[in-house]
Amino acid sequence: MSAAQNSSRNPHEVPPSQRAVLEGPDIQRALTRIAHEILERTKGATDVVLLGIPTRGATLAVRLAERIAEFEGVKVPVGALDITMYRDDLRLRPARPLGHTELPPGGVDGRVVVLVDDVLFSGRTVRAALDALNDVGRPRAVQLATLVDRGHRELPIRADYVGKNLPTAKSETVKVYLAETDGRDAVVLLKEEQR
């Protein structure tokens, strides 16, 4: 039934077989809330650095920085941190192309780094990101923001800011589409046979 609703709302964008769990406006609202939470928890985000994990985490980090600037006029440094070289599953697949790392000019030393990723699943990406961060500097604290937390953690890692907690089966796939890279905003849950 929800599939039918989605297709009537977005007839050209989301195929009816893919259940969109978050639509564009839901994603906007979630990011707005996370931006407020970051401001609240870091007391004005004065020494915060947002680091997105490519590709979509980096896009989300930029959007969060825009919101924080809008709400309180704070210009938060934003960058991207590629974690490919730190993955623990490199040997399971052919060598992957690298994403783009771009650290803000001030670096991360002594700052509160908020890692931003689109989906939090096993926690292995975040572990790799913590290792990568270790090699580029020494932040005062590291926090984690994710648009979707889909559960099934394999490591003792949790997010500080979550857009939506999404109960999933392990066999399902969560796909995040963002306008900057995919032409539209949506979070879609794919059953195993649709992958």
* CB nearer another protein, residue 27 or residue 132: 132
When asked if residue 131 is in the footprint of another protein (CB under 8 A), the reply is yes
Structure tokens at 153: 């953690």
Distance in Å from the first CA to the final CA of the chain: 21
Q: How far is the CB of 113 from another protein (least distance, A)?
A: 16
| 24-41 and 56-72 helices, crossing angle to 10° | 60
- Find all residues with CB under 8 Å of 56, minimum gap 6, and list them: 117, 118, 176, 178, 181
Dihedrals φ, ψ of 166, to 5°?
-125, 105
User: Site residues for another protein, window 65-104 (CB under 8 A)?
Assistant: 82, 85-86, 90-101
When asked if residue 105 is in the footprint of another protein (CB under 8 A), the reply is no
* CB nearer another protein, residue 93 or residue 195: 93
Q: How many residues bind another protein (CB under 8 A)?
A: 18
Bridge partners (DSSP) of residue 80 are 52, 102
When asked if residue 195 is in the footprint of another protein (CB under 8 A), the reply is no
Q: Would you tell me which residues interact with another protein (CB under 8 A)? A: 82, 85-86, 90-101, 131, 135-136
